[in-house]
Amino acid sequence: MPASRGSSATVPASDRRRWSFSSWAGYLLTLPAVVAFIVFVAYPLAHTVLLSLYAWSPIHPAKLYVGLGNFRELFSDPNFAVAARNNGWFILLSLLIQMPLGLLLAIGLNSTLRRHRLLRTAFFAPFVLPVVAVGLVWQLIYEPNLGALNSLLHALGWEQFASGWLGDPVLAIFAVIAVSCWRYVGFHMMILLAGLQSIPEELYEAARIDGAGPWRQFTHITLPCLRRVLLVDALLITVGSIKIFDLVQVMTGGGPGFASDVLATFMYRTAFTYWRMGYSAAIAVVMLVLTLALTVAYIRLTGKEEYTPTVRRTYRLRQAWVRLAAACGRFVPSVRREPQSPRATEWVELPRAQDADDSSEAADTEQSDASHVPHRPRRPTLWLGRVGPVIQDTVMLLLAAVFILPIVWSLVSAFKPLNELLLKPWALPQSWAWSNFVTAWNGGVGRFLLNSAIVTAITVIVMLLLAMPAAYALARLRLRGGAIIFGIILGGILVPVHAAVLPLYQLSSSLGISGWAAILGPYIAFCIPLAVLLLRAYFAEVPQELLDAALIDGAGHVRILWSVFAPIARPAIATVAVFQAAWVWNELLFAMVFISDKTRMTLPVGLLSFQGEHSVDWSVVMAGVALAMLPVLALYLVFQRHVVKGLTAGAVK
């Protein structure tokens, strides 16, 4: 009787020992990351669901079981309805503004020209700025009496459009949404730009040979090929709109009244103003369910779209154009029968299409015709004629001016005395008030910058020390249950940080922990899932021969990780470090909850505290904002190539 597959009779003893050693080594390498994830993500998530079934507060610690009472009250609460409606507005308007505008910018700037690289930098700059700094700048711009926006409207003779903006119950949420779109359009432009650059140029070339104009290329090539990227981008916008907290908290605090509350600010206010922890936990559970439900819906939609008749017709059209391009001897995708997905297309070099019976003269004529195919840039354009590129670049320049103007205005305002800032917000300083920066630095901004640098450095270093071994084990070692472990860790990407705040606050209060000790653990744990996802993808691409050679030389897996895989994956490690550092640098919710000592405040919560102390002196506040913005802008300008490469590479993957 033959031995069953996988039994000990069919596996040599040496292979079984190697399997056993690799498995144990893999489990040990993943253990620290898994433990951190369970303690600071999985446990708080489960505990939040449990807390939502009780009525309790720190003032009255005894918990009263109410079952689904919090949810019944929640769905009949008009303030919850307002917050949910505002999140709906965030989702709808962000999808209608950020995606189309991001796509327009990506198409218009999809080239290697220096001026287009500069314009991409201008559009992406708002995304790298500290969120609190952005909120404070726009708070002054929206100021109803002496703010820059109303002053500009009065100067243009449009007084009828001047408004209270953030103080208007109807307009407040839309004013915040406008700032959110201004900040994130550049980010979505980069994601869509990565998708555009992954479309084979041969498709556009074949379409031009076939006589297709720019609009037909856009509708029949660009949009179908970007279908999956657009769905992923829509998912990012939707989930981000549900999780939005910091910008609303800084600009309005949910006011006036509850008019601009979103679910996250309503949850925070309920927990730490009214001390209704159980009710706040119910709000966090609703946010979690919404996030997971929309994510699952997008995933199913992404999976089904590959098999729709529209996509099949698109690929038939692509096949026809590919055959035409093959006649020109280009590098084109091999034509297959009914490809089931864009990834099913394999790139090969096809020989020049030439019938064996054709005469040499006909072949020479064909080659001559192919050589006269005009070379055009990769990027499609929506304008026709010779003046099209000029008009296109002019439009991009004007849009870039709109995006960069608030940043320049805030930096210039930092040098103005208070009376000049309020009376002449758009004029250049008549006297440069360098003392504003001295006051801001002595007021604590320097300390806040140092604190954020220390917290960010500790978080990123520890996160990499935990995530890299786990990513290596999940990518290269044969682990029983490895897919389950990876799926559990990956689920942390979808978990809103708000869902973990209340259990961690309860735990830290009972243990007497506050300050950095209370935030470092959650920061590290919430950074691990994305780091494991990206690093695992890069580690999986390292040639197997390198791993086998190192094992033959007697190297252990730890040495192999740090001596072989880490140097090869250095760009991926840098990308992970940069983007996780940006999240930690800007994180506000945990900092507001756990840090009360001003000497320990990080930059986001420190700037809010600084603004409260100098609320009547906006010139000093703008100097503090400038001190917070300038280091980040300088680092971005120095490392922008690596940041953009990392962002686009991650988007394509």
How is residue 331 annotated by DSSP?
E
Q: Which residues of 405-415 are buried (b: 16+ CB within 10 A; e: fewer)?
A: ebbebbbbbbb
Tokens of 423: 């009376």
Residue 39 lies in a domain: yes
Is the pLDDT at 502 greater than 50? The verdict is yes
Q: How do residues 12-64 score in pLDDT, each as one tens digit? A: 444 444 444 567 888 889 999 999 999 998 899 999 999 999 998 887 778 88
Assess contact for 569 and 507: CB atoms under 8 A: no
pLDDT, residue 86, reads 96
Task: Say if CB 83 and CB 90 are below 8 A apart.
Answer: no
Between 408 and 330, the higher pLDDT residue: 408
3-state class of 359 per DSSP? coil
539 close to 501: Cβ distance less than 8 angstroms: no
Using CA atoms, how far apart are residues 568 and 570, in angstroms rounded to an integer?
6
Domain that holds residue 181: 79-199+214-317+380-413
Query: What is the pLDDT confidence band of residue 645, given thresholds at 50, 70 and 90?
Result: low
Interatomic CA distance for residues 592 and 374, integer angstroms: 59
Percent over 90 (pLDDT), the chain: 34
- Please give the pLDDT value at position 123: 92
Q: Are 271 and 284 in contact (CB under 8 A)?
A: no
User: 3-state DSSP call for residue 333?
Assistant: strand
With respect to residue 355, please indicate whether it lies within any of the assigned structural domains: no
Together in a domain, 451 and 557: yes
In a domain, 64, yes or no: no
Per-residue confidence (pLDDT) for residue 319, from 0 to 100:
47
> How do residues 409-450 score in pLDDT, each as one tens digit?
999 999 999 888 888 889 898 889 999 999 999 888 999 999
- What average pLDDT does the segment 472-481 reach? 86
525 neighbors 37 (Cβ within 8 angstroms): yes
Which structure tokens are listed for 134?
A: 């952005």
Cα angle value 118/123/129 (rounded, 5°) = 110
Least confident of 202-216, 277-291, 498-512: 202-216
Instruction: Kindly state whether residue 59 falls inside one of the protein's structural domains.
Output: no
* Residue 220 pLDDT > 80: yes
Hey, CA dihedral for 252, 253, 258, 262, is it positive or negative?
A: positive
- Whether 489 shows a pLDDT value over 70: the answer reads yes
Residue 339 lies in a domain: no
Give CA separation, 73 vs 15, 67, 478, 503, 605, in Å. 60, 11, 49, 21, 32
Largest CA distance in the chain: 96
Query: Do 560 and 471 sit in the same domain of this protein?
Result: yes
> Which residue is listed with tokens 């009972």?
510
Residue 428, in any domain of the structure: no
Which residues make Cβ contacts (< 8 Å) with residue 235, sequence separation at least 6? 294, 295, 298
Do 499 and 614 share a domain, yes or no?
yes
Whole-number Cα distances in Å, 133 to 92, 127, 156, 610? 25, 11, 28, 11
Dihedral over Cα of 332, 334, 339, 343: its sign: negative
Q: Is the pLDDT of residue 336 over 50?
A: no
- What is the CATH classification number for the domain harbouring 218? 1.10.3720.10
Instruction: Please indicate, yes or no, if residue 10 is contained in any of the structural domains.
Output: no
Query: 398 and 524, same structural domain?
Result: no
Q: What is the pLDDT of residue 518?
A: 92
H or E stretch at 113: none
Statement to judge: residues 85 and 187 lie in one domain? yes
Confidence of residue 644 (pLDDT cuts 50, 70, 90): low
- In this structure, the answer to whether residues 22 and 158 fall within a common structural domain is no
My answer on whether 169 and 114 are in the same domain is yes
Across-strand partners of 54? Answer: 65
CB 473 within 8 A of CB 556: no
Q: Is there a single domain that holds both residue 115 and residue 178? A: yes
Among candidate residues 239, 217, 229, 138, the one with its CA nearest the CA of residue 188:
229
Position 460 scores a pLDDT of: 94
501, 590 in Cβ contact below 8 A?
A: yes
Report percent pLDDT > 70 for the chain.
Answer: 81
Q: Are 129 and 166 in a shared domain?
A: yes
Residues 84 and 24 in one domain: no
What tens digit of pLDDT does each residue of 240-292 get?
Answer: 899 899 999 999 999 898 999 999 999 999 999 989 999 999 999 999 898 88
425 contacts 147 by C-beta, under 8 angstroms? yes
CA distances (Å), 103 to each of 6, 113, 400, 459, 507, in order? 51, 18, 15, 34, 45
What's the structural domain count of the chain? 2
Q: Give the Å distances, CA to CA, from 592 to 279, 355, 641.
A: 20, 73, 33
In a domain, 535, yes or no: yes
Is the same domain home to 137 and 272? yes
> Is the Cβ–Cβ distance between 139 and 250 less than 8 Å?
yes
In this structure, are 407 and 303 located in the same domain? Answer: yes
Identify the band that residue 641 occupies on the pLDDT scale cut at 50, 70 and 90.
low
Which alpha helices (H) appear in 109-147, and where do they start and end? 114-128, 131-141
Pairing of strands 54-55, 347-349: unpaired
Distance from CA of residue 228 to its chain's centroid? 17
